[in-house]
Structure 1
Amino acid sequence: MTRTNGLTWLVSRGSHMDAVIPAAGRGTRLGALTDEQPKGLVAIAGKPLLAYALDSAVEAGVDELIVIIGYKGGQIVERFGDAYRDVPLTYVHQCEQLGLGHAVLQAKPAVDGTFLLVNGDNVFADGVTPAVEAVHAEGVDGVLGVEEVSREVAQTTGVIETKEGNITDIVEKPDNPPSQMVTTGCYVLPAETFHACALVQPSADGEYQLSEAVGLLCRAGFDFETVELGERVNVNELADLERATALLES
């Protein structure tokens, strides 16, 4: 239970954990590879890109997989069916791609309690299990998978802001980054994240950022811990396909 400004937020706890996997985007920067198929079905080392996120979630011990689909989403449903590696799989539609915060909000009816979020276009060499393990520590409300980057890269993503060792905010694409520690495509989030996502205002480009919602929870007093998960590739461009393949084959 976390209290702030006289308000009480009830943080869900329990052994059950769902995984939310956003995979609604087209992946326009992959060019012709996504003209006829969604980004999540682009092949890397003989498997669809989305399969690597699903593998990470299954290996972390989740009870159900919830995949957010959009562009040519029917192909993902046809490819993966209603279970993956014996874990039940549910699909949620994001009709408009309005940012990660908006995507997560679509999954609210299907999620029960604290949940793992793994972006469907991320390949983690060593999985995401440490993030799930970390959320069970006493007093921890959520976990952020993080990595340290250059200041130039920090200006393009969500940056962790801390005070006396505690996470106080996440700043999205700052001109002057407060640190060089940034979020990756892995989070373990309390159920209150959905309420926070609903409160977020759209950015200048019309997107609802998940980092803004998590920042709201941090400012409200939720205790988020950070975990470094090792090497990963966020697949956005053609060159990232080569990097992901090299990472998997190393």
Structure 2
Amino acid sequence: MKAVIPVAGAGTKLRPQSYTQPKALIPLAGKTVLSFIIDQLKAAGIEEFIFIVGFLGEKIADYVKEHHPDIKAHYVSQQERRGIGHAINLAKNIIENDEVFISLGDTICEYDVQMVLNNPHSMIGIRKVDNPRDFGVAEIDANGFIETVVEKPYIPKSNMAMVGIYKIKETGLLFDCLATNIHKGLLTHGEFTITDALDCMIQKGVQFEAFKVDNWFDAGNKETLLRSNATLLRKYRSSADPLQYENSVIIPPVSIAGGCVIKNSIVGPNVTLGENTLVDQSIVRNSIVGAYSNLFDIVLEDSLIGSDSSLKGETRSLNIGDNTSIDLG
């Protein structure tokens, strides 16, 4: 079994963060989205990973080499962003005839990975949503098998969204369907989707069993990222010892990386601080702050701050990228 993690997306909804940092590497509850996914799959016994990279792909490779040196990693470059189906097809020569586990690189889900790996059928992760038009949607029969899948339908016939997790045993047919769709120019919403390839497989007789994920944490934009950060911090009961920070109050849940200096400040709840960040005479709540940042005399709430940033003065809800200096005084 080989795992494929597409991380070539431009992350346009997370700009300006994604101008300098792949969204899979944005800090989240003391880790990154990518590390959550890799750790989950490693724990289930998967040792070989294929990363589909694009813009800032070297940062993905550097991160994996530093934080996950024990895995066998391959990197495939997707120069043109033509959809997830196109991305998966680029990995054909590495996947060969092995079974494949696909997990999109901007989503964290909680589910029984081992159960999915042990199931004799190909499987697709699903979760009930309020607005299925924003997702790939699966129609499921009474026995839990998927009858058809449609990408972002205008008139959904189901509210079961595909969460971006797929275990596929019939890889030969997967690549046949992908190649056919690409050759025919079969675009959906301007992209070659994996959804169209899966539907092709279903029409050719492959049985996909649906499995429901327990939780689905989206990192697609600032608002969902902050909500996911807060939920994961509460779930893992992240905290810090306030006694090590000078004249400061730490309100859990928080995740404070190594090397941080906090003085004369209030930090929390729902705050993730990257390594070697300085917080002085400030209040920070419900925010994510990247590494090597300096916050002085500022109140931050509902904010997403890039690495190597310097902020000073007033109360703000901000979304700023790396290497930014702002004086609001």
With structure 2 as the length reference, what TM-score do the two structures score? 0.65
Instruction: Report 1:166-205 matches (<5 A).
Output: 166-189=145-168, 190-191=170-171, 192-200=173-181, 201-203=185-187, 205=189
Q: Tell me the equivalent position of 1:44.
A: 28
Alpha-carbon shift at residue 126 of structure 1 (Å) = 4.3
Instruction: Report 1:43-192 matches (<5 A).
Output: 43-81=27-65, 84=68, 86-112=70-96, 113-126=98-111, 128-134=113-119, 137=120, 140=121, 142-150=122-130, 153-163=131-141, 165=143, 166-189=145-168, 190-191=170-171, 192=173
* Contact kept in structure 1, 2:49 and 2:74, CA below 8 Å: yes
* Contact kept in structure 2, 1:23 and 1:119, CA below 8 Å: yes
Q: Tell me the equivalent position of 2:228.
A: 244
**Aligned equivalents of 1:57, 1:85: Cα separation in 2:** 15
Once the two structures are overlaid, the 10-residue window that deviates more, 80-89 or 194-203, is 80-89
**1:104-159 CA deviation, whole Å, 9 max, x = no partner?**
1111111141110011111123463332222xx2xx2x100111122xx2112111
**Aligned equivalents of 2:112, 2:83: Cα separation in 1:** 24
The number of residues matched between the two structures is 227
**Aligned equivalents of 1:239, 1:129: Cα separation in 2:** 31
Alpha-carbon shift at residue 164 of structure 1 (Å) = 5.3
**Aligned equivalents of 2:146, 2:58: Cα separation in 1:** 39
**Aligned equivalents of 1:83, 1:49: Cα separation in 2:** 13
Alpha-carbon shift at residue 85 of structure 1 (Å) = 6.0
Alpha-carbon shift at residue 204 of structure 1 (Å) = 5.2
With structure 1 as the length reference, what TM-score do the two structures score? 0.84
* Contact kept in structure 1, 2:151 and 2:188, CA below 8 Å: no
**Aligned equivalents of 2:29, 2:231: Cα separation in 1:** 10
* Gap runs ≥5 in structure 1: 1-16
CA RMSD across the alignment: 1.9
**Aligned equivalents of 1:122, 1:19: Cα separation in 2:** 15
Q: For 1:227, what is the secondary structure of its paired residue?
A: strand
Which residue among 13, 16, 31 is the counterpart of 1:32?
Answer: 16
Q: For 1:51, what is the secondary structure of its paired residue?
A: helix
**1:184-232 CA deviation, whole Å, 9 max, x = no partner?**
1110013121221112244254300100100000011001101112101
**Aligned equivalents of 1:36, 1:239: Cα separation in 2:** 19
Residue type of the alignment partner of 1:46: G
* Contact kept in structure 2, 1:122 and 1:232, CA below 8 Å: yes
Once the two structures are overlaid, the 10-residue window that deviates more, 119-128 or 168-177, is 119-128
**Aligned equivalents of 2:195, 2:188: Cα separation in 1:** 15
**Aligned equivalents of 1:174, 1:126: Cα separation in 2:** 26
Report which structure shows greater RCO (CA 8 Å, sep ≥6).
1
Residue type of the alignment partner of 2:211: V
Q: Whose radius of gyration is greater, 1 or 2?
A: 2
Residue type of the alignment partner of 2:82: L
**Aligned equivalents of 2:90, 2:194: Cα separation in 1:** 12
Q: Tell me the equivalent position of 2:251.
A: none
**1:31-88 CA deviation, whole Å, 9 max, x = no partner?**
2111212222211122222111212221222130111100110111112128826221
CA 1:234–1:195 in structure 2 vs 1: closer, same or farther (change >3 Å)?
Answer: farther
